[in-house]
Amino acid sequence: MDYSKENSRIKALPFKFEKAGRKTQVKQLILIVHRNLIIVVYYYDNAYTTRTIDFLDFNSLQVIKTIDMVKVSRDTQLFYRPFNEVDYIFYQNGQTMQFAKLDDYIDSQTDIHLMEFKYDNSVNFHNVDIIDEFTIMISSEYYTQLFKLDKPLEEFNKDNKAEFNIKFLGQQEYGNLKKNQINQLLVKNENESFYQLRRNEDYNVQCYFLKNQIIFHKNESQKTLFVDKNTMIISYQIDKKYYGFKHLELYEYVLDSDFNIYENNNKDGITLKKIQQLHDSRIDNIHKIVTTPTRFIVLSENQTSNYTLHVFDSLTFQLINYLSKFASSTLDFYDIETINQRFYFKNAQFQDQIVFFDFSTNIRQNYDLLPVLDQGYYENIFQFCIMKNQYHEKQYIFDLIQKNKIIYFDKLNQSFKEIDLIENVIFQQQQKIPIDAIINEELRYLVVKSLSQVTVFNLEEKSVIKEISGDFANNSSQGTNISFIKNRIIVKTIQLQLMYPLQNIETVSSQQKEFNEDSFYLFKRIDQGQNPDIYNMRVCSFENMFNQDLLVQPVYPSFYFDYANKITINSSQIQIFIKGEKQMVGFFQTDINDQLIKYYREMANHTNEEIIKDITSNVDKYIKFVAGYGTGFGVFQNNLAALEMIVKQLSFKEKQSIPILICQKMLGGESALDFSIKNQQQKIINIILSMIIKYQDHIMFNKLVDKNLCELIKQQIDLQEYFQSNLSSYEILQKSFPSQHHDEQELIEGINLENPKDVHDKYDELFGGKLEDLNEGNETLVSIEYHLINLPQTLRNNPQQLMQVLSETERPEYFENQVIQAIIKFKWNKYTKSFYQNRFYIYLIFMASFIFDIFYSVYATQNDQEKSEQKSSADLDTEILQPNIWIKISSKIICSLVLLFFLIYELKQISVQKGSYFSDGWNYFDFSHIIAYTTFCILDFTNEDKINLILIKILVIVLTFMKLFFFLRIYDGFSFLVSMMAGVFKDLKYFLIFFIIFILQFGMIFLVLFKAQQIDEYNGVNKLAYFLMAFRISSGDFQLDDFHTQEDLLVVFTWIIWLIAVMTLNIVFMNFIIAVISESYERVMQKLVAESYRVKAHMIVEREQLFSNQDLQSQKYFPNFIVARRPLNTESNESGEWQGFIKDIKYTIRTTAAKSKAEILQNLNSLQTQNKENGQKLEKIDEAFEQNSKILKINENLEEQISKVIKLQLDQSQENSKNEFTQLKADIDNKVSELDTKVLKIQDDMEFIKSSLTQLLQKQNS
């Protein structure tokens, strides 16, 4: 499924309903996916008062059953309603609506209905709903009736039916009932058991059912009525649209038009408590809400008839998936299937098709842990289980029928087989009951597995040969294992782990009826004693899971890498393992949703500033895998700035936490690297390649680079780090490959493997018999390393291309790495060196014959000249020429035969290479050599012109030795010399042109100064005499004899010119030549090894071009893997490379880099160790802090208690003191009052005394 294409998720099933010879009109289409059933309701030839029902198989579209309906009207419909996992159907029979089970209806049994709803008038029905097991609602064109059943729905059967007689209420009667039944939406007559609602009151037919309420909408307004389901009284009325939904007894929610979700509290009638807003959009019209135990799905439509699907988690309310505008016209029908997470629909846009799409984006969404509503589990001990053969091709039923007898039932042949054992076997304990069995019919053994024991039986001896005790985890507790077998060997295993972490949950049992059918698991809580909660889970079948058209992420990324031996799939990751390695190689991050898919899709419309800002804030979402995009590297495969920012952000994360970043976007599709190579985006190529090397440095991922290696070399990409990584070369560290050996020779062998890890068992096949035996005198051991060249596609799929691009490249660095060197060495030693050596030996025959011919003809001519002084020319011809002719003929025949052999070879090359043949300079020499020698033979026998014969001899000699130089390149000692000579002349080309210009300049000056006087030394070349003089001056050969013949004034000027010529041509230019040649020599010596391998690459190309198709298909010449065995001490092998002044610099760089790397690794290890120690210390500190916090809490509690006690004591003391003070005060007050009384008495007494004294004094005075 390509999520990058918006319509790729939509799959179309052809469906065109026709009847031969008759015109049909389809009235209804009902799809029942879980039964693979399509119900088509139609009529013939415009006879709309008839109905025919066809039941079709969903896969084959074959008609299963046809039923003709009777007593129908124009608008008669069929209503399919599932309830409590039972399929029911409502069908109209005249003025009666009948209710039956779908199975009974299909079987066309008589008297099949369970209920009858008889109406007193003809009526057209619009909708039917089963609200709960006691309530059914039927809506017609006039009324909506709600029927209350006196017993649960499942208790009705053919012998126990229900019948309702419905009489529509008149308008006046309905009005009177409404007046009497105030605030009641649906009313009922006292004589009837059902409620009615007139349709002319403008209430929507579609209702929403909660546990205790029914939600009604007004058609032309935004009002929502909550009606009590028992009393039909309006509980609440809101001026806004609300929608209700529930799933059994697990949850119940209310949703409004702004996507706010509410918790419905049924305790006090109607109380809505807002939880949160689910989505920032608005609902105009909801078509359907489908619920499962763990999620709810909302299908809505906006005002422009665009349909939208929202999928929410019912526990966390997280938006799991969101599909918008997937259909833009009215749907003829639709069905939401929750098992496989698919939405089916049909509309005018797809006239002859039923369309569906998978609205799940992750395999986890298909694996829900569902609570079982009817709790209770009973364990039974059985002694039978499913048994399979070793290839899982056959299934049996295994049963230990007696203690010493096993029987098994062959399901394919429908037969029983018995095994009588010679000893008793007991499987009676719960932990020892058989749960799985495997029989090997070839080796004759039987393995029976229980939870705590594995027992192995020998079927020949009929006895137990092995018992292994221990706790063995049931395979079903980990999920489903799917094995892929090739040549009776398991090559790949995909393990689908349970998608939820099962804390305190264990697997009780699992079952599967047949292969390629869904399997079911039963779980229970282990922390709840004897009455644990029970859960179940359904797992998709193998066929559905791996159907190419129906694949869901992340199943198909499991097949991206061929070498993957084990793939583990869980809720958020695909973990990939390779054969022979316990550690995970890499993983895909696959926990995605539709929001991420939508975001990936809209990235093209964002600016670079927005993209970089988002990457900086959250890079994690760009490392998740989405089919069709890959990761962020696929999304931004054409955006250099975004990729650089992703790389920067990833550098701050731990390497182990980063998933697979570069991969194919689709199975069999291209990766981000493929795209950038195709578009020659070299900077992006370098970034992606560096990411592969840094985060995916394993032979598993070399497939990404391997198929593009030749194109990368063509584009001159720096591959030095790649060839030094673990991608292209796998170091074999296996005990079967000895790390020390007395034989230090280097061996490079080809091998064909399905998996590179298979090389571990191939040592004898690779090197057996090719190494020297240990001698008594040589006991020295040398350290040996082994490397597997991991370039199977480059080596095998297009075997000629690699050498072709290497021979054409201008980067000598490609030849300096051991991977390319090993490939060239293998090809060179396997079929190239011997090819050219054989031709060289043949050519030596030509050389010997030709040299003999030259020497013989020259010395014979010299003898002829000596004898000509003594004899006449006629005698000479008679005596000498006659015997020489046969020697000449024989030597020339030998040379001609050899050259004919090479002529055929050159013609083959031309036929293969065509125009490119002339791009190689050596080919000009080869062809010129053949032509020149042919001309030489003709002239030698015609003997017309001796001078021409001498010139052609010289030309043949030159070309003969040029071909000798060509063959000398076979040997490493000569190869670099030939390359150096060619390099020197290549480097001198511009200098020589400049030098010739100066020769012409001074030659013309001397020609004018000496007035073209004839010089005896240059007889025959007088026209060029002064130019030769200038050249001789440049070489230091000075000729001054003619200078004195000049006039006085010219003599001075001549010497001045001579001095300038000597300075320029001899001193300056000759030293220039020496410097240029030295520099060219130094350059050749620096790249000596690279140049020697480049030469071999050129020669390998020539050799491979002459291969036949059979040779090109040969696994001997072109294996998919190459294994190199070499001694660790390679200084002698690299001596050629370390020549020239750059030797010390390269050596210093390498040693410094190695030391730095070692120091960094050491520091990193020490830091990691220190971090672990610090982590442990921090844990201890945390524990200490926790203990201290606990102590502090205890202390705080103690302080609180102490403070409370003290406070209590203080309060008590204060209270006591207060009481004492009060008592004291009262005592004092009493005493004071007593004193006051006494004082008053004293005062009274004093007054009395005073008054008495006063009276006495008055008496005395009077």
Question: What separation in angstroms does the CA of 1254 have from each of 258, 1202, 1242, 1262?
Answer: 109, 74, 18, 12
Torsion angle, CA of 230/232/235/238, rounded to 10 degrees? Answer: 130
Based on the domain organization, do 343 and 476 belong to the same domain?
no
- Examine the fold and report which residue of 518, 552, 586 is the final residue of a domain before the chain moves on: 552
Mean pLDDT, rounded, of the chain: 79
* Residue 689 covered by a domain: no
Q: What range does the domain containing 952 cover?
A: 827-968
Based on the domain organization, do 904 and 1027 belong to the same domain?
no
pLDDT value, residue 874: 47
First to last CA, the chain: 147
Q: Are 250 and 293 in contact (CB under 8 A)?
A: yes
- The CA distance from 98 to 105, in Å, is 11
Based on the domain organization, do 375 and 334 belong to the same domain?
no
Q: Which of 273, 190, 208 is nearest to 244 (CA)?
A: 208
**Residue 418 in tokens:** 């018995």
- Examine the fold and report which residue of 313, 338, 359 is the final residue of a domain before the chain moves on: 359
> Among 534-538, 837-841, 938-942, 1214-1218, which stretch is predicted with the lowest mean pLDDT?
1214-1218
Region for 894 from its dihedrals, namely left if φ exceeds 0, alpha if ψ lies in -120 to 50, beta otherwise: alpha
pLDDT value, residue 1131: 46
Residue 921 has pLDDT above 70, yes or no: yes
**Which amino acid appears at position 264 of this protein?**
N
* Residue 414 covered by a domain: yes
What's the pLDDT tens digit per position in 30-83? 988 888 899 999 988 888 788 889 999 988 888 998 888 877 887 888 999 998
Asked if the bond preceding 554 is cis, omega within 30° of 0, the reply is yes
**Which pairing describes strands 384-389 and 370-371: parallel, antiparallel, or unpaired?**
unpaired
* Position 863 confidence tier, pLDDT thresholds 50, 70, 90: low
pLDDT value, residue 878: 45
At residue 1041, the 3 state secondary structure works out as coil
Q: Which of 670, 598, 616, 666 is nearest to 638 (CA)?
A: 670
What's the pLDDT tens digit per position in 335-347? 888 877 788 888 7
> Among 765-769, 918-922, 963-967, which stretch is predicted with the lowest mean pLDDT?
918-922
| Count of the separate structural domains present in the chain | 4
Q: Are 255 and 298 in contact (CB under 8 A)?
A: yes
* Position 1134 confidence tier, pLDDT thresholds 50, 70, 90: very low
Q: Are 725 and 700 in contact (CB under 8 A)?
A: no
- The CA distance from 970 to 1099, in Å, is 9
At residue 378, the 3 state secondary structure works out as coil
Strands (E), 218-270: 224-228, 234-238, 242-247, 251-256, 260-265
Based on the domain organization, do 342 and 402 belong to the same domain?
no
Q: Are 524 and 535 in contact (CB under 8 A)?
A: yes
Based on the domain organization, do 378 and 506 belong to the same domain?
yes
Residue 879 has pLDDT above 80, yes or no: no
Of 282-291, 358-367, 911-920, where does the model show the most confidence?
282-291
pLDDT value, residue 1245: 67
Residue 1002 has pLDDT above 50, yes or no: yes
Q: What is the DSSP string of 276-313?
A: EE--SS--SEEEEEEE-SSEEEEEEE-TT--EEEEEEE
Mean pLDDT, range 972-999, rounded to an integer: 76
pLDDT value, residue 561: 87
Alpha helices in 55-142 (DSSP H): 102-107
What's the pLDDT tens digit per position in 734-756? 888 988 888 888 899 999 998 89
* Position 1208 confidence tier, pLDDT thresholds 50, 70, 90: low
Q: Which of 102, 106, 61, 95 is nearest to 79 (CA)?
A: 102
Residue 1121 has pLDDT above 80, yes or no: yes
Give the residue carrying structure tokens 């049931």. 474
- Which residues, in sequence order, are CB contacts of 216 under 8 Å at separation 6+? 185, 203, 204, 207, 224, 225, 227
The better pLDDT of the pair 228, 548 is held by 228
pLDDT value, residue 732: 92
- Give the CA angle between residues 170, 174, 179 to the nearest 5°: 150
Q: Which of 989, 976, 969, 971 is nearest to 1077 (CA)?
A: 989
Burial of 366 (0-12, 13-18, 19+ CB in 10 A): buried
Burial of 42 (0-12, 13-18, 19+ CB in 10 A): middle
At residue 165, the 3 state secondary structure works out as strand
- The CA distance from 430 to 508, in Å, is 12
- Give the CA angle between residues 355, 357, 360 to the nearest 5°: 165
Q: Are 846 and 898 in contact (CB under 8 A)?
A: yes
**Residue 616 in tokens:** 């900086």
**Which amino acid appears at position 1155 of this protein?**
K
Based on the domain organization, do 396 and 536 belong to the same domain?
yes
- Give the CA angle between residues 1098, 1101, 1107 to the nearest 5°: 155
- The CA distance from 1086 to 815, in Å, is 13
pLDDT value, residue 499: 57
* Residue 518 covered by a domain: yes
- The CA distance from 1179 to 1192, in Å, is 19
Burial of 400 (0-12, 13-18, 19+ CB in 10 A): buried
Give, as one character, the DSSP assignment of residue 796: I
Q: Which of 381, 378, 429, 423 is nearest to 402 (CA)?
A: 423
Residue 708 has pLDDT above 80, yes or no: yes
Based on the domain organization, do 423 and 520 belong to the same domain?
yes
What's the pLDDT tens digit per position in 171-180? 778 878 877 7
* pTM exceeding the 0.85 threshold for the entire prediction: no
The residues that bridge with 584 in the sheet, in sequence order, are none
Give, as one character, the DSSP assignment of residue 159: T
Separation of CA 1180 from chain center? 41
Based on the domain organization, do 869 and 833 belong to the same domain?
yes
At residue 872, the 3 state secondary structure works out as coil
Region for 270 from its dihedrals, namely left if φ exceeds 0, alpha if ψ lies in -120 to 50, beta otherwise: beta
Based on the domain organization, do 928 and 1013 belong to the same domain?
no
Task: Label each residue of 607-674 as H, E or C.
Answer: CHHHHHHHHHHCCHHHHCCECCCECHHHHCCCCHHHHHHHHHHHCCCCHHHCCCCCCECCCCCCEHHH
* Residue 443 covered by a domain: yes
The residues that bridge with 243 in the sheet, in sequence order, are 255
At residue 523, the 3 state secondary structure works out as strand
Q: What backbone torsions phi and psi does residue 67 show, to the nearest 5 degrees? A: -130, 135
pLDDT above 70 as % of the chain: 77
The better pLDDT of the pair 755, 866 is held by 755
Residue 938 has pLDDT above 60, yes or no: yes
Based on the domain organization, do 345 and 390 belong to the same domain?
no
Residue 711 has pLDDT above 90, yes or no: yes
* Residue 1073 covered by a domain: yes
What's the pLDDT tens digit per position in 513-563? 665 667 777 777 777 777 777 777 777 666 666 555 554 555 677 788 888
Based on the domain organization, do 929 and 997 belong to the same domain?
no
> What sign does the dihedral 831-833-838-839 (CA atoms) show?
positive
* Residue 273 covered by a domain: no
* Residue 798 covered by a domain: no
Q: Which of 1164, 372, 1193, 1107 is nearest to 804 (CA)?
A: 1107
- Which residues, in sequence order, are CB contacts of 772 under 8 Å at separation 6+? 742, 743, 745
Q: Which of 370, 344, 364 is nearest to 593 (CA)?
A: 364
pLDDT value, residue 674: 92
- The CA distance from 604 to 629, in Å, is 12
Q: What is the DSSP string of 1097-1141?
A: HHHHHHHHHT--HHHHT-TTTS-SEEEEEEES--TTTTTTTS-ST
Mean pLDDT, range 456-470, rounded to an integer: 80
pLDDT value, residue 476: 46
Rg of the Cα atoms in the chain: 51
Residue 1048 has pLDDT above 90, yes or no: no
* Residue 463 covered by a domain: yes
Q: At what angle do helices 833-868 and 1088-1105 cross, to 10 degrees?
A: 90
Question: What separation in angstroms does the CA of 748 have from each of 469, 734, 754, 759?
Answer: 48, 18, 19, 14
- Examine the fold and report which residue of 552, 569, 584 is the final residue of a domain before the chain moves on: 552
Residue 1132 has pLDDT above 50, yes or no: no
Q: What backbone torsions phi and psi does residue 945 show, to the nearest 5 degrees? A: -130, 110
pLDDT value, residue 1154: 61
Based on the domain organization, do 391 and 502 belong to the same domain?
yes
Q: Are 820 and 748 in contact (CB under 8 A)?
A: no
What's the pLDDT tens digit per position in 625-674? 888 888 999 999 989 999 999 999 998 888 888 999 999 888 888 899 99
